[in-house]
A and B are shown apart, each in its own frame.
Chain A
Amino acid sequence: MAIEIRDQYDKIYRYCYHKVKNAVLAEDLTQETFLRFFSQTSYSEIGKQLPYLYTIARNLCTDHFRLRTFDREKELPEDALEDVAQHRMIEQTELTLVIRQALHVLPEDEQELLLLRYVNELTVSELSEITGLSRFAVYRKTKTALEHLKTRLRKEDFS
């Protein structure tokens, strides 16, 4: 299997997981995303069609949004953190924990931008296609999101 699809699987999965907060569902949605993607395009360069891939994922997640019934504030995924720690043995620094908490306070669209830009490494053009915002707007919002996060972290620092 091409290295590209492998990578993208993980990235789409991470995105879906962020949206629906459920591992099993996230994987279902990831697989559905790829199935739909390949039913529409004949594979040659998945790299050039990333916005399309993410748009499918995004729409699928929105359709399942109803599963997120609880209040965002209360929903600190500490269980998920342990899950992650067990499965991935990621170094659980206090910083990570703090960042996670801070992230959850941010508006949804800012969280999404941070994930897509800094973690999934999408370019500004790609993000612009996915979100429908202009490139400038994407650039500005991403900066703002990061600033918000920093501000929030500073607040945490003093608490």
Chain B
Amino acid sequence: MKQMRKKDWSHELTLAFAAPAPKRKEAFLKTMPVPQLDPRGFFFTQLQYIRKRTWIFSIFILLACIGIVRFASDGVCWKTAALLPFLTLITTTEFARSTQWNMVELEMSCKYSLSQILMARFLIFGTVDFLILGVIIGIVSTQSEFYLLRTVLYLITPCTMTAALSLWIIRRTPRNESIYFCAAASAFISIAHDLAGSSGAYFYHPDLLPVWEFLCLASVCFLLKQGKELLSSARKGQLLFIH
């Protein structure tokens, strides 16, 4: 008995200190306040509700880009750039979920309302896409015919353009249609890269660099603006699409 371990002592002492069962526990517990989910907790639940397929497709695109770098003999830059709009498409469709499935009204009336949900998704996908893009840029730049900054420019622009367009579409188009328009926009940008890139080197001619710089800057600004407008629309109930 003296060789009892700590958990045996715990057990025996629990018995020794036992008290008669409390009689008013349930009634009292009902009056207790309910614990709150803080913003950090809310953010993590939103993370959990991102569809698995979004992550899977994103990884797939990443692998495809790696594949291009590995196996393509030339034109690594435009080939990758043609794939990137689809990366953005996958992530921005997560923003259309609420309108697509008629959850807007319910989500708006909750403590953590629609605009906060969208904000959480911005943060999540902003970070994830930024990282994936960073990896892709890093890998592509090893094989790219251009120096790093130029590669960055050529790869970021299709992403930001697609994202900005998609957000604009989501804000303007009700329900299911928005996804199709987003897909069309992504396809358009992708095909443009395909055609222009494969037809010759004019697309990435150094003379056109200022045009690219302008496009890049403009699309980043447009993207930020669309993000802000989307949140504002969410708050005002414009995502209900009535009238």
Direct contact, A vs B (beta carbon within 8 Å): yes
Measured CB to CB, the residues of A under 8 A from B are 1-2, 4-6, 9-10, 13-14, 17-18, 23, 26-27, 30-31, 34, 38, 42-46, 80, 83-84, 87-88, 90-91, 93, 95-96, 99-100, 103, 114-115, 118-119, 121, 146, 150, 153-154
Instruction: Write the B13-44 contact mask toward A (1 if CB under 8 angstroms, else 0).
Output: 11111111111110011101111101000000
Number of A-B contacts (CB under 8 A): 99
Task: State whether B19 touches A23 (Cβ < 8 A).
Answer: yes
Complex partner residue of B20 from A9, A18, A83, CB under 8 angstroms: A83
With contacts A99-B13, A118-B9 taken as known, whether A1 is within 8 angstroms of B29 at the C-beta atoms is yes
With contacts A5-B29, A38-B32, A44-B38 taken as known, whether A96 is within 8 angstroms of B12 at the C-beta atoms is yes
B contact patch SS: loop
A-side contacts of B28, CB under 8 Å: 9, 31, 34
CB distance from A100 to the nearest CB of B (A): 5
Query: Is the CB of B1 closer than 8 A to any CB of chain A?
Result: yes
A5–B34 Cα gap in the complex (Å)?
A: 10
Task: State whether B20 touches A119 (Cβ < 8 A).
Answer: no
Query: Is the CB of B2 closer than 8 A to any CB of chain A?
Result: yes
Complex partner residue of A42 from B9, B21, B29, B36, CB under 8 angstroms: B36
Q: Supply 13 further A-B pairs (C-beta < 8 A) apart from A27-B22, A27-B25.
A: A1-B29, A5-B29, A14-B17, A17-B19, A18-B19, A26-B19, A45-B35, A80-B20, A99-B15, A118-B13, A118-B14, A150-B2, A154-B2
Query: Is the CB of B238 closer than 8 A to any CB of chain A?
Result: no
Task: State whether B18 touches A90 (Cβ < 8 A).
Answer: yes
CB distance from A116 to the nearest CB of B (A): 10
Task: State whether B17 touches A9 (Cβ < 8 A).
Answer: no
Query: Is the CB of B198 closer than 8 A to any CB of chain A?
Result: no
Task: State whether B1 touches A27 (Cβ < 8 A).
Answer: no
Query: Is the CB of B46 closer than 8 A to any CB of chain A?
Result: no
B-side contacts of A9, CB under 8 Å: 22, 25, 28-29
Task: State whether B20 touches A118 (Cβ < 8 A).
Answer: no
Query: Is the CB of B102 closer than 8 A to any CB of chain A?
Result: no
Query: Is the CB of B10 closer than 8 A to any CB of chain A?
Result: yes
Task: State whether B22 touches A43 (Cβ < 8 A).
Answer: no
